[in-house]
Amino acid sequence: MRGGFQWQWCGVAMKCPCAYAILIVTGVALGQAGVPQAAVGQTLNDGFAAMEQGDFFTAFTAMRRLEQAGDPHAARLLEQVFQTPSVQAAAAPVPPVTAYARPARPAPAQSPRPNQRPVLTPVPVALPVAAPPAEAPGRAALPLPPHDLPAPLSGADFHYSDPLLADIGRLLFFDPVLSGNKDTSCATCHHPRHASGDGVSLGLGTGAQGLGPDRSPEGARAAQRRIPRNAPALWNLGAREIHVLFHDGRLEKDPARPGKLLTPQGPLDYMVLDTILSAQALFPVLSAEEMSGQPGENPIADAVADQRVHGDDGAWALLAARVDALEPYNSAFTALRGAPGPLRMDEIANALGAFIAREFRADQTPFDLYLRETGAMSPEAGEGMRLFYGRANCAACHSGPLLSDQKFHAMGQPAIGPGKDRDAEGYTRDLGRGFVTLDPDDAYRFRTPMLRNVLHTGPWGHSGAFSDLADFLRHHLDPVTGLAAYAPQAVLPELAAAEDDYATIDNANARAAISDAAARDMAARPLVTLQDDEIALLIAFLGALSDETALAGRSSVPESVPSGLSVDR
């Protein structure tokens, strides 16, 4: 296993083949340059010692001190080893590591509604920092970090994505023709403008207009309910390692039957699906709230309501026929398969999967470059990484090259909005994995998200309950304490028909159910306490998981789509 921070530290240094040599050369040069030898020696020693322990921040500070002592070589060193532009000496101390500003959201228009909290403005709340570990029996015996760093991602980790197929997928992804009422596309909730999510806690599907926080119900078929879960970003879903999809993993590779899938619609063996990601594209179109619409509104919604999904008169066949009737799609698919149609739904799904895999691949982040030894992270991010793989124990779950164990954990996220069902007292709830396996031990467990581009994909959590990442992380460390202190900060589009979105979290019993599940899962790992500045370092590391090229978009939003329907831009 290639682990260990000392080795990885050398990984950074490899950028310029031997940082040690440079440090020594610099030390000599400094002595010659008239900088007091003792001070230089001490600073260099500090730097060396810090490097031995992989302590980025101290090594960096030592470098800065040398630079401030007037040494031109230190400036070069900062650039080469840390990729940090040299700051003109004395004026600039070490950059503060506590500041983190979330990207500003456009100020939402407030319209007061009776009996409902104002929900559009995220309220920044400071949650109490977790108390030191109580005497929890058995905790001391648990295995402690550090964790090894993952192997770097490479091209071989991703499925091949046929560019011609992906080009058709791009048009389909932005084309509202896939929704029953022709008003909602995949991009409505997974828009490049919102880092492949929708920028809100719980979005609105069919029967609304606009994007993200600006989306609002409209027309005779206006949306009546929020989508019960946060629309996840789509980064790196084309990786071969992916074996579960959705927050609750209700689509997964069947562990018992290689090559087969467990799906909400039973076996799909009659289809030819390229990847699990392709298979996923079959499901949003069947969701009344997301895309298909209500019975009576269109034939696809009627088929879904009658539980006609498979077969010649099923929702999928109706949808495929609708797409096939559009000449540009028909001819593109004909050219691709080298024979005339009719177009099948699995071909549509494969095109969408190919597009998502190509467009939303994020493996060129500073962290990825660092792992490949082709670049470095900022010192703050380096320190954050040490915490992530060390004392903060994040890598216990955010593990492997994709930063997810793809398993399910109860992290005590506050329930917001309509949920998936109701508890005995009538409060809405979302049992997550428990709703899929019907195993009480899985209640309130959700899949560990992969964290690439996570700074851009808020609000966070499966219900989007947090719009402040520092608050999210404090809650994440100690969900039981966090849940009791949670103050509403979801970002929700206006929806007059919505019930009180926070009713569940305001009810002691409903909240206790979530909290108890989190406490049960907490018992299996050490309670971690972090100071605010350490949270800031973790956020700096999460920032080093941003792939700017991917965020900027590999292809553009199409000017128009074959259906001629309007495109969300």
- List contacts with ligand HEC (CB under 6 A): 178, 184, 186, 188-190, 203, 205, 227, 229, 231-232, 234, 237, 245-248, 277, 280-281, 284-285, 290-291, 352, 356, 388, 392-394, 396-398, 409, 411, 413, 446, 448-449, 451, 454, 457, 460-462, 473, 476-477, 525, 538
- Distance (Å, rounded) from C-alpha 161 to C-alpha 167? 10
With a CB cutoff of 8 Å and minimum separation 6, the contacts of 23 are 44, 47, 48, 77
| Cβ atoms of 115 and 499 closer than 8 Å | no
Of 227 and 369, nearer to ligand HEC (C-beta) is 227
The amino acid at 344: R
- Distance (Å, rounded) from C-alpha 223 to C-alpha 256? 40
With a CB cutoff of 8 Å and minimum separation 6, the contacts of 90 are 68
Of 473 and 492, nearer to ligand HEC (C-beta) is 473
Of 332 and 411, nearer to ligand HEC (C-beta) is 411
With a CB cutoff of 8 Å and minimum separation 6, the contacts of 524 are 142
Residue 113 beta carbon to ligand HEC: minimum distance, rounded to whole angstroms: 22
Of 71 and 568, nearer to ligand HEC (C-beta) is 568
Residue 396 beta carbon to ligand HEC: minimum distance, rounded to whole angstroms: 4
Q: How far is CA 378 from CA 83, 233, 372, 383, in A?
A: 7, 25, 16, 9
| Cβ atoms of 236 and 363 closer than 8 Å | yes
Residue 112 beta carbon to ligand HEC: minimum distance, rounded to whole angstroms: 26
Residue 95 beta carbon to ligand HEC: minimum distance, rounded to whole angstroms: 21
Residue 75 beta carbon to ligand HEC: minimum distance, rounded to whole angstroms: 33
Residue 434 beta carbon to ligand HEC: minimum distance, rounded to whole angstroms: 12
| Cβ atoms of 521 and 409 closer than 8 Å | yes
Of 35 and 277, nearer to ligand HEC (C-beta) is 277
Of 75 and 538, nearer to ligand HEC (C-beta) is 538
**Tokens describing residue 464:** 């989007």
Of 66 and 495, nearer to ligand HEC (C-beta) is 495
Residue 120 beta carbon to ligand HEC: minimum distance, rounded to whole angstroms: 18
Residue 83 beta carbon to ligand HEC: minimum distance, rounded to whole angstroms: 23
Of 22 and 536, nearer to ligand HEC (C-beta) is 536
Residue 295 beta carbon to ligand HEC: minimum distance, rounded to whole angstroms: 18
Of 77 and 490, nearer to ligand HEC (C-beta) is 490
With a CB cutoff of 8 Å and minimum separation 6, the contacts of 13 are 19, 20, 81
**Within 10 A of 39 (CB to CB), how many other CB atoms are there?**
13
Q: How far is CA 161 from CA 268, 279, 350, 444, 491, in A?
A: 21, 15, 10, 35, 35
Where do we find the tokens 């791009």? 170
Q: How far is CA 415 from CA 178, 462, 513, in A?
A: 30, 9, 11
Of 73 and 159, nearer to ligand HEC (C-beta) is 159
Residue 197 beta carbon to ligand HEC: minimum distance, rounded to whole angstroms: 8
Among residues 2, 7, 124, 8, the alpha carbon closest in space to that of 381 is found at 8
Residue 156 beta carbon to ligand HEC: minimum distance, rounded to whole angstroms: 21
| Cβ atoms of 90 and 39 closer than 8 Å | no
- Distance (Å, rounded) from C-alpha 31 to C-alpha 69? 12
With a CB cutoff of 8 Å and minimum separation 6, the contacts of 101 are none
Buried b / exposed e along 223-252 (16+ C-beta atoms within 10 A): bebbbbbbbbbbbbbbbeebebbbbbbbbb
Among residues 343, 200, 186, the alpha carbon closest in space to that of 277 is found at 186
Among residues 177, 205, 106, 163, the alpha carbon closest in space to that of 567 is found at 177
Of 364 and 457, nearer to ligand HEC (C-beta) is 457
Of 50 and 397, nearer to ligand HEC (C-beta) is 397
| Cβ atoms of 420 and 429 closer than 8 Å | yes
Of 280 and 294, nearer to ligand HEC (C-beta) is 280
**Within 10 A of 153 (CB to CB), how many other CB atoms are there?**
24
Residue 458 beta carbon to ligand HEC: minimum distance, rounded to whole angstroms: 7
Residue 530 beta carbon to ligand HEC: minimum distance, rounded to whole angstroms: 7
Residue 57 beta carbon to ligand HEC: minimum distance, rounded to whole angstroms: 18
Of 71 and 471, nearer to ligand HEC (C-beta) is 471
- Distance (Å, rounded) from C-alpha 174 to C-alpha 190? 10
